[in-house]
Amino acid sequence: MSLYIPVLFLVLVLVFVPSINSAPPPNLTKDYYQKTCPDFSKIVRETVTPKQGQQPTTAAGTLRLFFHDCFMEGCDASVLIATNSFNKAERDDDLNESLPGDAFDIVTRIKTALELSCPGVVSCADILAQATRDLVTMVGGPFYEVKLGRKDGFESKAHKVKGNLPLANQSVPDMLSIFKKNGFTLKELVALSGGHTIGFSHCKEFSNRIFPKVDPELNPKFAGVLKDLCKNFETNKTMAAFLDPVTPGKFDNMYFKNLKRGLGLLASDHILFKDSSTRPFVELYANNQTAFFEDFARAMEKLGTVGVKGEKDGEVRRRCDHFNNLNV
């Protein structure tokens, strides 16, 4: 009998003792910077307001940037890192090449202002999280709580992007597998997809729905407009269309109403109404904006906690596009 005790003990140790190399997730709090950078919220708000006024697509771009950051191994500002001679970073993978410059710019502007007020204190990951919430609210979206205390990650690898971000032509099961990896349900997938109520997509992302033949499930008039808009998309790669053609600059539930009318731009948008598993949520949000806003807000709060880094596995970068150790 005694021969089995060491083996059993070893099994128990392996199961119940956490690895010394895995740092526990940080305890995020609303007032994380209350003493160390009391003007944090004010500086973020005063920086995003004029930028959104000058460039109305900033809100959508920043929301997308935040999503891409959090779904790539956590909300750690790894998507902000620039490629150098040692490393090809996330933002230079094909799936991230269309991330808008205005989103990167607003983070840089906020970081610059904060470094003057409280140098070396606020992480780029927290800046991106707070700026996203403020911008979403500015364009009519719901207010939600942003807890703070994230640290900036030490890694950003382009080759890790594929398989971690949903694609424009994916099925619901394929998208759900990616969302599930990050702890999200089917309903939360649909709620977060509602972020497409603002912003645009480049023609190459939906060209297969209009060339060479038009997808019969696409609204015919909408398809005609898109065909004309994107006729030269192979030579002019900047051509893009609004994801919500009805109220493109307003955060509302029009995106879901559009899906019912054949006005979903991406195949992955349209499939949410076509698939029987997600259609009830589309119907709910199309008929009830309050329900959409409440579920979107909760999902965004949850998104902001995905894979966050603490003191042991992160840093506060001096510049958001570079690791403090430039050789990393």
The annotation places the binding site for substrate at 166
Angstrom CA distances, 166 to 153, 176, 186, 268, stand at 22, 9, 13, 9
**Integer Cα distance of 183 and 137 in angstroms:** 25
Can 270 be counted among the known catalytic residues? Answer: no
Q: At what angle do helices 172-181 and 267-274 cross, to 10 degrees?
A: 100
Q: List residues forming the annotated binding site for heme b.
A: 196
Termini Cα distance of the chain = 52
Q: List residues forming the annotated binding site.
A: 69, 74, 76, 78, 90, 166, 196-197, 244, 247, 252
**Integer Cα distance of 281 and 7 in angstroms:** 50
Q: Is the dihedral of CA 116, 122, 123, 124 positive or negative?
A: negative
Catalytic residue among 68, 159, 202, 270: 68
Residue 36 CB-density burial (10 A; 0-12 exposed, 13-18 middle, 19+ buried): exposed
Helix (H) / strand (E) element for 224: namely helix 220-229
Q: List residues forming the annotated binding site for Ca(2+).
A: 69, 74, 76, 78, 90, 197, 244, 247, 252
Which residues are marked as active site? 68
